[in-house]
Amino acid sequence: MPTRRSARLIAVFLTVVSLLVVGAPLGSAALSPASDSIEALRKQAAKARKELDGLDKTWKAQNKKLLASQAKLRATLKQLGEANAEFEQLRGPLARLANSSYQAPAASASMSLFGQGEATDGLRSSADLGFMAQSNEALIKTAGELKDRQTRLANDAQELQSGNAIESARIAKQQKALFVRINQLTTQLTNSLKKLSGNRDLKLQLGCDAGLVADSTKFPNGLIPNKYLCKLPQKGAFLRADAALSFYKLNAAYKKRFGRDMCVTSSYRPLREQQQLYYQRPGFAAVPGRSNHGLGQALDLCDGVQNQGSATFNWMRSNSGTYGWFHPSWAYSSPFEPWHWEYGTESPR
């Protein structure tokens, strides 16, 4: 069974893998020091997880087999104990029979049955005892059968004990190999992660868990705690995890085209902030509790995007859909908000 130390090793490895593997395809077995891609690292983590799953299943199967064998051994030893107890009860009658009809061959047989000779001697002499004391044939027969049973159970127990010892050694070897491999993979992945940690965008991706989406939807509009949101490259900006992961890619494409990060003036908007905005501009802000900003699925952009027809606005209109973002139809007229963009599928306002 896993030790406390081994459990910690497994926990460390799974923590690393949980950060890296989000529906990632399997990759090559060895980590490349020159890798500068989050996808490459995810592939390595997925491959490592698959390898450990196989090792863990093999170890568990062997351990299950050993436990079954140990249970069989316990049952066999119990039966052997019962046979010994039954035989002990026959010692008195057999002793009286031996004393009343003592002859050399019979005495030898009795001594064998009492355990003072070889078991096989006792079995061979059972016939002599039966011949010597026909009136006690049933007693002698029972004693012979018990002796046979004792011998058989003792042999079975010895074989099980020997097999269990071999299997225990094999399992211990497999367990050691598993934990050595966990150490190796964890070290490799951690070192690769450190090499990538200087990259801001990759660091943001690693810190954004898509599993946060389900948790964030449990909270009312505008009341989502920051720990259920993901940071954007822009200071103080947050989005729901799925929107943030898509925005990272959108931002990278934008930066490749214009040489700079996207300009964000508003992202996730707490309810209190939405209330203030609505009071200030009631015709230009959604009713508090109804805004997609409060769901972490909307952005207000600048850097020219706020001007319809600008190069950045046109780029966004042509490319945002590739990354799951769109400019809602209502924002063209009711009210006119070229700066407002949303994640997901458009629905009536």
- Measured between alpha carbons, how far is 278 from 59 in angstroms, rounded to an integer? 61
- Measured between alpha carbons, how far is 69 from 230 in angstroms, rounded to an integer? 51
- Looking at the DSSP bridge assignments, the partners of residue 300 are 266, 340
**8 Å CB contact between 313 and 305:** yes
- Measured between alpha carbons, how far is 167 from 62 in angstroms, rounded to an integer? 8
Fold match between 4-196 and 206-343?
no
17 phi/psi in degrees, rounded to 5? -65, -40
Give mean pLDDT in consecutive 10-residue pieces for the chain, a chain of 349 residues. Answer: 48 51 38 46 69 75 80 81 77 70 48 48 50 57 75 80 80 76 75 70 81 90 93 94 94 95 95 86 77 94 95 96 94 88 79
Contacts of residue 220, defined as CB under 8 A and 6 or more positions apart, other chains included, come to 271, 289
- Measured between alpha carbons, how far is 24 from 29 in angstroms, rounded to an integer? 14
Residue with tokens 């127990």, as numbered in its chain: 157
- Looking at the DSSP bridge assignments, the partners of residue 342 are 298, 326
- Measured between alpha carbons, how far is 123 from 143 in angstroms, rounded to an integer? 9
Q: What is the pLDDT of residue 24?
A: 38
Pairing outcome for strands 340-343 and 298-301: antiparallel
Residue with tokens 């070290």, as numbered in its chain: 187
How many other C-beta atoms can be found within 10 angstroms of the C-beta atom of residue 280? 9
Q: What is the pLDDT of residue 173?
A: 79
Please tell me the pTM assigned to this model: 0.49
Q: What is the pLDDT of residue 104?
A: 41
Burial classification of residue 14, based on how many CB atoms lie within 10 Å of its CB (0-12 exposed, 13-18 middle, 19 or more buried) = middle
- Looking at the DSSP bridge assignments, the partners of residue 240 are 229
Q: What is the pLDDT of residue 300?
A: 96
H-type alpha helices, 101-136: 104-113, 119-124, 126-132
For the segment(s) 4-196, the CATH number from 3.30.60, 1.20.1300, 3.30.70, 1.10.287 is: 1.10.287
Measured in whole angstroms, how far is the alpha carbon of residue 21 from the centre of its chain?
A: 12
Q: What is the pLDDT of residue 349?
A: 53
- Measured between alpha carbons, how far is 335 from 21 in angstroms, rounded to an integer? 42
Beta strands in the chain (DSSP E): 229-231, 238-240, 264-266, 298-301, 325-326, 340-343
The full set of domain ranges for the chain reads 4-196, 206-343
When computed from its CA atoms, the radius of gyration of the chain, rounded to whole angstroms, is 39
CATH top-level class for 206-343?
alpha beta
How many other C-beta atoms can be found within 10 angstroms of the C-beta atom of residue 279? 10
Q: What is the pLDDT of residue 317?
A: 95
* Edge-to-edge strand list for the sheet holding 325-326: 264-266, 298-301, 340-343, 325-326
- Measured between alpha carbons, how far is 59 from 102 in angstroms, rounded to an integer? 60
